[in-house]
Amino acid sequence: MAVYLKRYALQLGECMKNVSYLFLVLLLLQGCAGTRYSYTSLIEETEDASVLRVKRGEVAELMAVGDGFPGWWGYYPGVISSSPQIASVDCTKARSAIPFREPGVIFGGEICNLTAHKAGKATLYFGNKFALDQEGAKEKVDVIVE
């Protein structure tokens, strides 16, 4: 009987070790670098361009960037506005309280919000934050503030 209990204890210990490894891997995976482009659900597609319509005074989340492992290696997602007086972009450091969601629980990151100031039209340029300008943008989205 003692031999069976000892064997059971060893098997249980091995199982708990495997569960611990799985938990550690899941914990590390939620620290991976990534980007959530929140603005894509707000876009209206037209024939010639993508349009984001917002009302004056409205704040809309554009994207969340996670600063996790292995890092961004020279490319860090960013966004700028062609007319900050009409619609400005503000990026702030943040952490997510929800696991596996950017900007991350462990390493944190940035959340970029669009603030609509006055009626008009502006263009958002998405690309590498370190070298972002109107010509080198990866993606352009028109913003119409009503």
CATH number at residue 73: 2.60.40
Question: Which tokens in the block code for residue 67?
Answer: 């600063």
Our count of domains for the chain comes to 2
Q: Pairing state of beta strands 109-116 and 87-94?
A: antiparallel
What domain range includes position 134? 32-145
45 in the same domain as 6: no
Q: Pairing state of beta strands 109-116 and 139-145?
A: unpaired
Of 115, 66, 62, which Cα lies nearest the Cα of 86? Answer: 115
51 in the same domain as 15: no
76 in the same domain as 20: no
State the pTM of this model. Answer: 0.77
108 in the same domain as 71: yes
122 in the same domain as 108: yes
19 in the same domain as 39: no
Residue pLDDT tens, the chain, 146 long: 666 666 766 676 777 777 777 777 766 666 677 888 999 999 998 787 789 999 999 999 999 998 877 677 778 899 999 999 999 999 999 988 777 678 877 788 899 999 999 999 999 999 999 889 888 899 999 999 99
DSSP category for residue 122: E
67 in the same domain as 5: no
The amino acid sitting at 70 is P
